[in-house]
Amino acid sequence: MDYDHQDLLNYDYLYLVRVLGSDIYLSKCVKFVLKLTLTFHTTLLVVQLYFFLQAPSTTLLINYGPAFLQICYADFTILNLLWRGQLAKEIMSVIDLWEIDSAGEETKRRIIRESRRINMFVTINVILMMTWATSHVVCHDPTETVFVRHTIHLLFPRLATFLVVLFNLTTFVAGVATMAHPFQMIYVTQHVTFQMYMCKILIEELSSYTTLEEKLIYDEDYQDLTKLRLKCLIKRHSDFIRWRDNTLLIIKNLMIPFTLGAIVITTSIALSLLQDVISYRSYLLVVCVLLTITSLISAGHHLEDEFHGLWPKQEFATVSHAVKVLVFYCFSGWIFSGMMLYLLSTYVETTNSVCINCAVVFVEGINFVYSFSLFLANLNDIVHLTKKFGEPRDLASFKKRQNKLMKFLYVNSVGGLLGYSAWSYLEEPTCRRTSFDQYRRETCGVLVPIWVPFSLDNPFVKNVVLVAQTFHIVLSLMCAITATCFIIACIDLITLKMQHLNENLESVKELPQEQKKDKLVWCVNYHVHIIG
């Protein structure tokens, strides 16, 4: 390896991922198609929402809500592609990619092997999404899009056939567009992971000499080579840190929108699973979503393992921590899904809703206890960020901002839930009349129908159940909000500490020569503290 001048990457082995995730959306022709799809879908969404609000119905919500929400998510991704089409390029602009043979043939073969696996996964995922889109075109009158076709026939009766065909064709565009951002994240994380493979080889070569240790002190060639290696190593570590900071800076404003998008797509899947007859297209969509989420989590934690693995003494602890965090996020997702199903099952007008609610409560309770225990077990890894090395300059404003955020989330979430509970209690007479008129077996006066081994006809017992349900969801909300605020606070605190470190590095220039060494050592330890 040439430690002074590394060859930069000439051939991109993740070219397919880059094309499907970014490059294809940069051409004017594709942008025009995206804009056309966005305009067409937005018009349909507005009209569908108008008709639904004219005569809201639980049946319409469950049967046709999934397609509506999926179109919403697709339009969101298309809008983001038009706005930030070069997201991957912006993230990778601060780091140079070395040629994959820079660290030897063994590392090169490993990178090629993993690149092929990633390309194969991307191909399979695109094929599945295309199959899902094709099923809408091939299937005669698919039930999910009945409301869409009905809306088109009402608005444009003469052009209805053409517009229905156009809508079916836009499902291909929307399907591929929804996969763009996951592919972009996989592309950037895997490329940096490959670069870390090569950086590890550089670290290992620091101890590759077999000469007696006492002779190395007087070996000028060895000293020069070691100096060059250390210089290259420090520069590469700085590149990785700069890439991480640049990535956080770029995507921090996209986290909340994509979180809301995840909620939308999860809600659409939940509604699909509550239908009387679940189509194979719903199962196909679930498989695509699960594959995408799993790949993103795997890519992210693989990158985290490699990043922390550059410091060998922390390697085992890092792998253990990554597994804990992975399990925590998975079970947190189950908590969210359980809460969504718990609330959505209110609108299921069948006796099966009682069984669904009881099963969801049981599973969600187990996941809540386990995930919250994992969160408490990892508190030490989070709290250590607030120790030693002094306080950042803006720490006071940081605390005020976090306190306001937590109060806002707590008040809105808990207040909204309590308001919903009060509405359920006060709406009981109306609910009873509606259930009687429509011949439904609906349990009124509680949040959702749930089986209990006693009668709910007694008002006192029913109020106890209502309070228990409210407390149950409040407890889950507290857990989710606390974990979310803690993660946000940690990210902001790391940013503050990086700013604090930069301020101390800039102050080194003004110190006397004899104090610079101690200050630089302090800065290096501070840097390791932030990363670790």
Residue spans of the domains in the chain: they are 1-206+218-310, 322-532
Mean pLDDT of the 112-130 span: 90
Residue 2 DSSP SS3: coil
Give the whole-number percent of the chain exceeding pLDDT 70: 65
- Residues 18-29 have a mean pLDDT of 89
Structure-token pair, residue 357: 């609610």
pLDDT greater than 80 at residue 132 = yes
Counting residues of the chain whose pLDDT is more than 90, the rounded percentage is 4
pLDDT-derived band at 329 (thresholds 50, 70, 90) equals very low
Among the residue ranges 2-11, 47-56, 384-393, the one predicted with the least confidence is 384-393
User: Is the CA virtual torsion 192, 198, 204, 205 positive or negative?
Assistant: negative
Most confidently modeled range among 346-360, 363-377, 499-513: 499-513
Please tell me which of 14-28, 304-318, 393-407 the model is most confident about, judged by mean pLDDT. Answer: 14-28
CA atoms of 251 and 247, how far apart (whole Å): 6
Does residue 434 or residue 464 have the better pLDDT? 464
- Of the listed ranges 6-15, 74-83, 378-387, 404-413, the least confidently predicted one is 378-387
What pLDDT, on the 0 to 100 scale, is given for residue 333? Answer: 47
Is residue 264 within 8 A of residue 73, CB to CB? The reply is yes
Mean pLDDT value of segment 265-271: 81
Residue range 388-400: mean pLDDT, rounded: 69
Task: Calculate mean pLDDT across residues 415-424.
Answer: 71
Query: What does the mean pLDDT of the chain come to?
Result: 73
Place of tokens 């099966």: 352
pLDDT band at 33 (very low <50, low <70, confident <90, very high): very high
> 268 is written with which tokens?
């659409």
Mean pLDDT of 410-430: 71
Which backbone phi and psi does 96 adopt, to 5 degrees? Answer: -90, 135
Tell me the β-bridge partners of 98. 8
**Is 60 exceeded by the pLDDT of residue 64?**
yes
Instruction: Report pLDDT for 325.
Output: 45
pLDDT at residue 36, as a whole number: 92
Highest mean pLDDT among 85-94, 185-194, 273-282: 185-194
Angle between helices 220-251 and 459-507 (to 10 degrees): 140
Contacts of 70 (CB under 8 A, 6+ apart): 265, 268, 285
Span 422-431, average pLDDT:
69
Query: pTM of this prediction?
Result: 0.60
Q: Quote the pLDDT of residue 32.
A: 93
Whether 480 shows a pLDDT value over 80: the answer reads no
Mean pLDDT lowest for which of 71-75, 287-291, 415-419, 469-473?
469-473
d(Cα 25, Cα 7) in Å, to the nearest integer? Answer: 29
Cα 244 from Cα 307, distance rounded (Å): 10
- Range in 278-287, 303-312, 348-357, 480-489 the model is least confident about: 348-357
Residue 498 CB neighbour total at 10 angstroms: 18
pLDDT at 531 over 70: no
Say which residues have a Cβ less than 8 Å from residue 266's Cβ, sequence separation at least 6. 336, 337, 340
Cβ atoms of 128 and 224 within 8 Å: the answer is no
Instruction: Give the torsion sign (CA, 49, 55, 61, 64).
Output: negative
The pLDDT of residue 511 is above 60? yes
pLDDT at 398 over 70: yes
Q: b/e string for 351-384 if b means 16 or more Cβ within 10 A?
A: eebbebbeebbeebeebbeebbebbeebeeeeee
Q: Is 98 helix (H, G, I), strand (E, B) or coil?
A: strand
Q: What is d(CA 199, CA 230) in angstroms, rounded to the nearest whole number?
A: 11
Query: Rounded distance, CA 492 to CA 495, Å?
Result: 5
For position 328, what pLDDT does the model report? 46
Q: For residue range 270-316, list pLDDT tens digits in order.
A: 777 777 667 777 778 878 887 887 777 777 767 766 766 665 444 33
Q: Residue 225's pLDDT is what? A: 74
DSSP-derived 3-state class of residue 8: strand
